[in-house]
Structure 1
């Protein structure tokens, strides 16, 4: 019989009893989010964007969809900042959830009003984005050094539950949209989000509440500012020069908003500020030593290393999130065969193909943990987080090679069954499990204690940047010179983009793997026990 004291010392202590409240909340919230997200593109094309000329409608729907996704994954910066500095994770999650519910209500009420519907999307982006980094970080807060090894299990359950909600949302919401209209189809997710909020509130007295960090003179931003501005006798400030170049580039990007659109310009400006500011800080970081404690300087160094990993994940999200736009648009032009299940005859709707993704996630997570990973360990290969993520990025590229081959066949006039998409969905889903589920664990474990919420926000920001690449490519292919170049390849514009994104991911996987070899993992789980 195992010794409980030994188990606790090894980090295998009992599971926190409050975790089920967070898991149940996440299941309902993810049903609400994916329920509306997965019918958004079909609804825009069939109902809300009828004023747009038919040839441009699909492209406009794709633009609106990815703009919305950018918002969802941008507002985590706000949620993480409010949580870490002012209100704590619980309060921020609760109040953002109420905004989230209001957004769903707007979608249901303003189904035929463009401005009202877009207001609803904005509120959902604010609410969903605001709570997104905090719920996963809040799960991590419930663990300490005595049971930290159970966190891996809970993060897998957490991700499995997300996909449980997503599966039923993907399967049912297209049917509700088709048979009962948008008011019902968008109203049901709103009800589920309200239930999610009540469940989360019910566990309030059971949670471990980590208070927001007090003002810290040795915070990340203060150390970075010191490093950039510090002078040393006889030396220039090359890091500051790099940061200023990034700021000027960001300003230039904002000035281009009349031509690029505000979303692309603003997101690109943010990317330039973060990238050049981070590089510049790294170049001069040692200048902050002595003016700040060594631990604070090393904390900044750790964050900069984490941000490099995050930056290399962004191409994965470029590919993954297009399953709800580009892949649906492809499915609209495919043949849906008559299927029979338990005596019922039916045809698969294009939007319902997305149900394959969460269903496979629920199967692949236990398959990986119970079969594949033990087999790899048995032959001497440890599936570390960074190895898993490298493989996942490469698999995402492979899935787009397959989807591109399907598109080439369709362009050649070959009728393709919608069931052909099952293969790329399977490959992309394995990629998702290896990148996304692992990324949650990696981000929390590597983040310094005072920056858990903010680092999780940066992890989620990778999705914003990934969707930014989609918007840039989508805008580029509207240029006549670009279209002329694509025409010389002998491929259609859509097929060319598919192979472009495949190459983008495969090249990134090579670079990611090279960086992963040099990255030194740390353990930043909470050491003290809070009862």
Structure 2
């Protein structure tokens, strides 16, 4: 086992406490904060808090694109992580200092999104860089341990941050995670002389984008240019979306562009169109890059495009998972904390937001259970537990968790006093799905990425969470439409219950599509040679 691994793991534990400490109290803080004082208490303020939360999540998982590019192209992983960590610390300071100032607080959220997102794709791949072919069998243990320590930090953050907010106010509740982020940066810096530093691939003529550009530009006699046409169509649609948003923003009468589609939604949709149409077009003409670029580079790009399809099919999972810190907290606030029951830890668990601590606690239990009990048992039964099978089942199980949450919501809507303890069941199911999807994907994404593109492919993996929150924002925008509200009313369900069953169905459709694609996916082995 590489001796430098403890520095990376220790940094990750403190950073995750820092991130989840502020993230898991963001919605409760906003609902009660003067920052949203212009809205009345109730569904409007809760909806605005959810929008701010998921916009923040979109930023956190968008900026890995920037961090991955700077690392792979210019600074290397170590330097990029160190400098973005300092930006991250500055963001926490803003939250603690400007709890009642909208400009200062939202600047802090932006800096945390930039810093956290910038390092997010790099710490995992930097950890992978410490292994080679001689000890790659240890990598799976470390990736699982890496995910375990993430949840170790998240558990204590989820448990104690709501109590800090309740008892000491937002300055302390946001300040303590900032101190932990400073400690995380220091621990990472301490290991600077022990790390294996893979240098950045500067000005690579055979990079992913260069190969794609060649494939789309090359002309072949007697062959059409359907791929180029598709790519240009995507560019045109993306530009048109941004132009329509800009016209709407300056007051132009653009009736067919939704009022609720702000810049974040529009920019994410435009990015999705660019990736989808550009990747589709390049895949049709990729062989035209052979000769101009070596076969290994062209095959590497084809491998990345296949991985992006896997990633796209995972995005619905994140739309369900990230709402445990928004929709499920709001549901929990409408439930009864069972302080009168002898088995309920009333001395510790006082807020619905603290139920999120169940997620990391269950992860820490389920990862060793899966590795030591479940997977060996399935293998003895003759079942091959591949990474893609685990991920597909994880998406489906997350859908089941939202069916249970929807049933609880129906119970609440019926006027019953529902115990908060019942939320343990959907948390258990969602967490089991998360372990199958997210812990597996860390190993999958690193092993499948070509050597020169590991930072960027990890950034694309984290971008799946951006699109997961995009689906939430689009849904929230949709339910503000009078026609859609009328449709929900015709179902006889409340809006929260309808949306819970909707997202469950979304996950089931995604799981079926994932299973169909996984049958044809060719697995790769891209660990570094010693």
TM range (shorter): over 0.9
Query: Does structure 1 conserve the Cα–Cα contact (< 8 Å) formed by 2:413 and 2:494?
Result: yes
SS in 2 for 1:484: helix
Structure 1 residues 25 and 243: alpha-carbon distance in aligned structure 2, compared to 1, 3 A threshold: same
- State the 1:341 CA deviation: 6.7
- State the 1:289 CA deviation: 1.5
Query: Does structure 2 conserve the Cα–Cα contact (< 8 Å) formed by 1:337 and 1:347?
Result: no
Once the two structures are superposed, the pairs formed by residues 482-521 of structure 1 within 5 Å of their partners are 482-521=484-523
Aligned pair 1:134/2:122, yes or no? Answer: yes
Aligned pair 1:337/2:325, yes or no? Answer: no
Partners of 1:197 and 1:256 lie apart in 2 by 42
Aligned pair 1:181/2:161, yes or no? Answer: no
Alpha-carbon displacement from aligned partner over 1:212-264 (angstroms, at most 9, x marks no partner): 01211111111101111111112221011111111122112213434310000
Unaligned runs of 5+ in 2: 250-258
Structure 1 residues 342 and 313: alpha-carbon distance in aligned structure 2, compared to 1, 3 A threshold: closer
Partners of 2:484 and 2:240 lie apart in 1 by 23
Partners of 1:472 and 1:500 lie apart in 2 by 13
- State the 1:344 CA deviation: 6.2
Paired position in structure 1 for 2:461: 459
Paired position in structure 2 for 1:52: 39
Once the two structures are superposed, the pairs formed by residues 54-133 of structure 1 within 5 Å of their partners are 54-55=41-42, 56-133=44-121
Paired position in structure 2 for 1:399: 401
1:473 to 457, 467, 475: 475
Query: Does structure 1 conserve the Cα–Cα contact (< 8 Å) formed by 2:338 and 2:344?
Result: no
Report the more deviating stretch, 448-457 or 281-290: 281-290
Partners of 1:378 and 1:78 lie apart in 2 by 44
Alpha-carbon displacement from aligned partner over 1:72-113 (angstroms, at most 9, x marks no partner): 000000000000000000000000000000000000000111
- State the 1:324 CA deviation: 0.2
Partners of 2:49 and 2:345 lie apart in 1 by 36
1:236 to 209, 221, 224: 224
Count of equivalent residues: 514
Aligned pair 1:319/2:320, yes or no? Answer: yes
Paired position in structure 2 for 1:8: none
Paired position in structure 2 for 1:9: none
Unaligned runs of 5+ in 1: 1-14
Once the two structures are superposed, the pairs formed by residues 434-445 of structure 1 within 5 Å of their partners are 434-445=436-447
Query: Does structure 2 conserve the Cα–Cα contact (< 8 Å) formed by 1:74 and 1:129?
Result: yes
Paired position in structure 2 for 1:293: 294
Query: Does structure 1 conserve the Cα–Cα contact (< 8 Å) formed by 2:448 and 2:523?
Result: yes
Quote the RMSD (CA, aligned, Å): 1.2
Report the more deviating stretch, 44-53 or 445-454: 44-53
Partners of 1:272 and 1:194 lie apart in 2 by 38
SS in 2 for 1:518: coil
Paired position in structure 2 for 1:349: 351
Partners of 1:485 and 1:500 lie apart in 2 by 13
Alpha-carbon displacement from aligned partner over 1:461-496 (angstroms, at most 9, x marks no partner): 000011001000000100001111111111111111
Partners of 2:306 and 2:477 lie apart in 1 by 32
- State the 1:38 CA deviation: 0.2
Partners of 1:421 and 1:228 lie apart in 2 by 51
Paired position in structure 1 for 2:368: 366
Paired position in structure 2 for 1:29: 15
So what's the TM-score if we normalise by structure 1? Answer: 0.95
Partners of 1:219 and 1:345 lie apart in 2 by 56
SS in 2 for 1:381: coil
Partners of 2:488 and 2:345 lie apart in 1 by 47
Structure 1 residues 299 and 343: alpha-carbon distance in aligned structure 2, compared to 1, 3 A threshold: closer
Paired position in structure 2 for 1:4: none
Partners of 1:422 and 1:458 lie apart in 2 by 32
- State the 1:409 CA deviation: 1.3
Query: Does structure 1 conserve the Cα–Cα contact (< 8 Å) formed by 2:215 and 2:286?
Result: yes
Partners of 2:149 and 2:241 lie apart in 1 by 40
Partners of 1:132 and 1:340 lie apart in 2 by 41
Partners of 2:304 and 2:41 lie apart in 1 by 47
Structure 1 residues 296 and 45: alpha-carbon distance in aligned structure 2, compared to 1, 3 A threshold: same
Partners of 2:361 and 2:221 lie apart in 1 by 61
Partners of 2:345 and 2:208 lie apart in 1 by 61
Report the more deviating stretch, 452-461 or 216-225: 216-225
So what's the TM-score if we normalise by structure 2? Answer: 0.96
- State the 1:54 CA deviation: 2.3
Query: Does structure 2 conserve the Cα–Cα contact (< 8 Å) formed by 1:18 and 1:207?
Result: yes
Paired position in structure 2 for 1:12: none
1:388 to 387, 390, 393: 390
Query: Does structure 2 conserve the Cα–Cα contact (< 8 Å) formed by 1:403 and 1:421?
Result: yes
Aligned pair 1:150/2:125, yes or no? Answer: no
Query: Does structure 2 conserve the Cα–Cα contact (< 8 Å) formed by 1:39 and 1:177?
Result: yes
